[in-house]
Structure 1
Amino acid sequence: MQEVSRWHIVVPLGLPRISVEDDIYNGYHIPAGTVVFPNAYAISREVEDPECFIPERFLDTENPAQNPYEYMFGYGRRICPGRYLAENFLFLFAANTLAFFDIKEPSQDDLRNGLAHPADVKFSPTLVSLPENFTCRMEPRSQEHADIVASLTG
């Protein structure tokens, strides 16, 4: 989940902050009242091969990548109070999805009909960045899994 969160951060510029007093950061003077956008996207790119999806980068005990949960929910006194709930929800969502479904490449018919391949997914260049439409196949792992999902969806 850390690599999913790092690979494409949902709010690339974070939420704006206003400096309450004059400050100096890396030799730059920031006057009081300045609107500052924390560039979470740039922070997420401070790894080797940032465009590549490599979950193992967080398992390196000698030189682990910075945990994206440290910057994707904001900073300081105004950090998101729901961050722990969000982290747990992301984990449970991913774990349940992987437990119940096999996620497979799109069919050749889908690709011939112009649907995008997941490897070619593009993201919207907006304040909240979301993936554009793409296709994949999600198949229940068994009939029992399909029955459970059907009972949950009504």
Structure 2
Amino acid sequence: MSLVLGGKAPQFELPASNGEIVKLSDFKGKNVVLYFYPKDMTPGCTTEACDFRDHHESFEGLNAVILGVSPDPVDRHGKFIEKHGLPFLLLADENHKTAEDYGVWTLKKNFGKEYMGIERSTFIIDNEGNLAKEWRKVKVKGHVEEALEFIKENL
């Protein structure tokens, strides 16, 4: 599936850190910040999650909900949320189908080893379920502010 800005965002149905099954369609009428990250409890992912946490109220003020997605299981998400006081849902994409639908399940290289994993990426989905913006190969520093600014100016 190829993503088209302005086109419908791929639907998903994933287990969430609150114990419920969450679907994109649950958020119709809200803007969605859907961010994919490689792994709970790692330095870059912790920094990104805490940046989203620190700007959570600003996103809420713009009718936007934050959803984090990684291949980690729900119980690990729960520990991550508890340790860092995250006020938003984390979704468990253990079979990486949603990551594949969004084109972020990619071949990665680290210390000479190749493996499949999540490419840190963020998607803004408007209140009608359309893809408004995407960032791939995200650098954590300043990214959350960039996403917030995009919503302020465009949605």
TM-score between both structures, scaled by the size of structure 2: 0.23
Query: Comparing both chains, which one has the higher relative contact order based on Cα–Cα distances under 8 Å and sequence gaps of 6 or more?
Result: 2
TM-score between both structures, scaled by the size of structure 1: 0.23
Q: Which has the larger radius of gyration?
A: 1
1 or 2, which has the higher strand percentage? 2
